[in-house]
Amino acid sequence: MVLCYVFPPDRRFPVVTRAFTLLEVIISILIVAIVATMLLPVIGAFQARAERVKCTANLRNLHVAANLYVQEHRMWPQVAISARMDPGTVAGLWIDAFQPYGLTQINWICPTIQRTLQSPDLSNPENARIDYAATNFDSKQQSPFLYSTQPWFIESGNMHGDGNLIIFPDGHVSTLNELLAGQKH
Cβ contact 175:164 at 8 Å = yes
**pLDDT tens digits for 15-30?**
666 777 888 899 999 9
Q: Determine the pLDDT at residue 120.
A: 79
Instruction: Say yes or no to pLDDT of 133 above 60.
Output: yes
- Is 117 within the bounds of a domain? yes
- Asked whether residue 185 carries a pLDDT value surpassing 60, the answer given is no
Higher model confidence: residue 177 or residue 63? Answer: 63
Domain that holds residue 108: 53-184
φ/ψ of 174, rounded to 5, equals -135, 170
44 located within any domain: no
Residue 29 forms part of a structural domain: no
Evaluate whether residue 9 is within a structural domain: no
pTM: 0.76
Residue 35 maps to a domain: no
Provide mean pLDDT across the span 106-134.
86
Mean pLDDT of all residues in 112-125: 83
Who has greater pLDDT, 16 or 61?
Answer: 61
Model confidence at 168: pLDDT above 90: yes
Query: How many domains would you assign to the chain?
Result: 1
What's residue 5's pLDDT? 61
In a domain, 47, yes or no: no
pLDDT band (50, 70, 90) for residue 13: low
What string of H, E and C letters represents the secondary structure of the chain? CEEEEECCCCCCCCEEEEECCHHHHHHHHHHHHHHHHHHHHHHHHHHHHHHHHHHHHHHHHHHHHHHHHHHHHCCCCCCCCCCCCCHHHHHHHHHHHHHHHCCCHHHHCCHHHHHHCCCCCCCCHHHCCCCEEECCCCCCCCHHHCCCCCCCEEECCCCCCCCCEEECCCCCEEEHHHHHHHHHC
Residue 139: pLDDT over 90: no
Residue 105 lies in a domain: yes
The CB density around residue 76, as the number of other CB atoms within 10 Å, is 22
Please indicate, yes or no, if residue 179 is contained in any of the structural domains: yes
Q: What percent of the chain has pLDDT over 90?
A: 38
